Amino acid sequence: MDELNQLTIHEAHELLKRRAISSVELTRSVLERIGQVEGSVGACITVAEDLALKEAEKVDHFIRTNGEVAPLAGIPALIKDVVCTEGIRTTCGSRMLENFVPPYDATVIERLKAQKAIIVGKTNMDEFAMGSSNEHSAFFPARNPWDLSRVPGGSSGGSAVAVSAGEAIYALGSDTGGSIRQPAGFCSVVGLKPTYGRVSRYGLIAFASSLDQIGPMTRDVTDCALVMNAIAGHDPRDSTSAPQPVPDYTRELIPDIKGLKLGVPGEYLVEGTESEVRKALEAAVDSLRELGADVDWEASLPHTKYALAAFYVIAPSEASANLARYDGVKYGYCEPDAGNVIEAILRTRQHGFGPEVKRRIMLGTYALSAGYHDAYYVKAQQVRTLIKREFDRAFERYDALITPTSPTVPFKFGDRLEDPVQMYLSDVCTLPINIAGVPAISVPGGFAGNLPIGIQVIGRPFDEATVLRVAYAYEQATDWHKRRPQI
């Protein structure tokens, strides 16, 4: 069978269950694809080929012996290199952790392994998840498979590229201000940021602890629901994990959204939104209306305009605290030629961190410093409360909100590197969702020429089911998710 690497999870599952293919064949297919395209796209930092094939052999033996197959059993995945994997290098895209091999698995990895999923390796990313283009990886940039001269988005750029280019059947990413959804939109795949607390952060190397969430990046919405079924749920090792019951998300995948009330907040069509993005949003709204939804273009979230400023106080402040642990003393990179301990710490941080990470640490340290804490950090948290309340009020009227995932199509390498503010604006449609802690998904929504456009569906806290339902109905009414890049 040709192109096993292009299967969805649910297609591969059916073939494995019938023993029409083996896990070894499927795993070899993605490994061969990595060998073919990795030199062009740069999606992977570490490939654990021998380990993956050994695990695939075990799964095939289990299927022959037992017959029963969990939905993710034997199916190869790639994991963003910010999630701890026992025995597999976890770098965070940084020189600081270039040789770090975790002694334990993150909870999400334990849950994937419980289903006998195959971990093929770790994906490229902006250093410590700080970036919107994957240009801030300490090793090499990932490239958009739809146009190699353009960025794949970030920080989970490698995961989005891998799924789009066929280097894995699905991947995990993390999302602090759009880092799953924006690259999903840029690479024409599906990416879900769950409600804060829905998926355990245990074993996720922290950027901003009150904003980070792990989520799936897949080829279609059905696959997204299957991965969420595996990874969602309470974890006593994560104090922010919510003890909420987890539904079977696949039960919500019905193409019927008759009677649902959807809002389109005008504030998300920001200045600089490209005309093709606006057209794609209008076409998506028309499709949702045809499917029976009641769509209101008059929805409003006026505090959205303050979200960017609040985010770039809160996130760097938390990063400043979280990244203080990288001092060259306990683990990770250590400057070898320092004369004393203080010099070793200073030079370790000077040479171990890249420029974007240093920029955000300095921003956060300044915002938390004496005399500025109340003026910046406390004020930003007050704005966060206003934004959260505004979402709560909106969801009293609407079942979900519809927006673009990004105001632009993927931009060219280097276009925004010298202008951090323009780079930060890439996440203007996604970061308010992290501030409010609500779930949102990006689904393929069209193309401008050959460049992908994402459509975002935002939902109530812990109502990923409705988000997936709306996304699924839209997906089934279009064929954008079926297109593959020619690479």
Q: Which tens digit of pLDDT belongs to each residue from 190-208? A: 999 999 999 999 999 999 9
Place of tokens 């699924």: 472
Distance CA 455, CA 403 (A): 6
pLDDT at 232: 98
| 115: containing domain | 4-263+398-482
What CATH number is given to the structural domain containing 40? Answer: 3.90.1300.10
Q: Given 179, 200, 320, 406, which residue is catalytic?
A: 179
- The burial of 377, by beta-carbon neighbours within 10 Å (0-12 exposed, 13-18 middle, 19 or more buried), is given as buried
Share above pLDDT 90 across residues of the chain, in percent, rounded to a whole number = 93
> Which residue(s) pair with 404 in the sheet?
455
Residue 324 domain flag: no
Model confidence at 75: pLDDT above 70 = yes
The residue annotated as part of the active site, out of 22, 23, 29, 80, is 80
For the stretch 394-419, pLDDT in tens is: 999 999 999 999 999 999 999 988 88
Domain count, the chain: 1
- What's residue 2's pLDDT? 60
The residue among 452, 398, 403, 462 whose CA lies nearest residue 432 is: 403
> What's the whole-number mean pLDDT along residues 281-305?
96
Give the pLDDT band of residue 422 (cuts 50, 70, 90).
confident
- Rounded mean pLDDT of 63-72? 92
Rounded to an integer, the average pLDDT of 40-65 is 97
**pLDDT above 60 (res 61):** yes
Q: Output the pLDDT for position 387.
A: 98
pLDDT above 70 covers what percent of the chain?
Answer: 100
Distance CA 105, CA 126 (A): 21
Tokens of 452: 């992908």
Domain assignment present for residue 41? The answer is yes
Task: Decide if 336 is inside a domain.
Answer: no
**Is 210 known to be catalytic?**
no
23, 155, 159, 164: which one is catalytic?
155
pLDDT digits (tens, 9 = 90+) for 234-261: 999 999 999 999 999 999 999 899 999 9
**106-124: average pLDDT:** 98
**C-alpha torsion angle, residues 131, 136, 141, 143 (rounded to 10):** 20
Question: Residues 303-319: what's their mean pLDDT?
Answer: 96
Is 307 a member of any domain?
A: no
- Give pLDDT tens digits for 442-452: 999 999 999 99
In a domain, 308, yes or no: no
Name 190's Cβ contacts closer than 8 Å, sequence gap at least 6: 184, 216, 217, 218, 219, 220, 221, 223, 224, 441, 442, 443, 444, 471, 475, 481
- Report pLDDT for 1: 43
Is 80 a catalytic site residue? yes
In a domain, 382, yes or no: no
- pLDDT tens, 11-51? 999 999 999 999 999 999 999 999 999 999 999 999 999 99
In this predicted structure, what is the pLDDT of residue 78? 98
| Residue 164: inside a domain | yes
Instruction: Please list the alpha-helical segments (H only) found in 18-139.
Output: 23-41, 49-66, 107-114
**What average pLDDT is seen over the chain?**
96
Specify if 273 maps to a domain: no
Average pLDDT of the segment spanning 349-368: 96
Q: Is 159 annotated in the active site?
A: no
pLDDT of 76 above 80:
yes
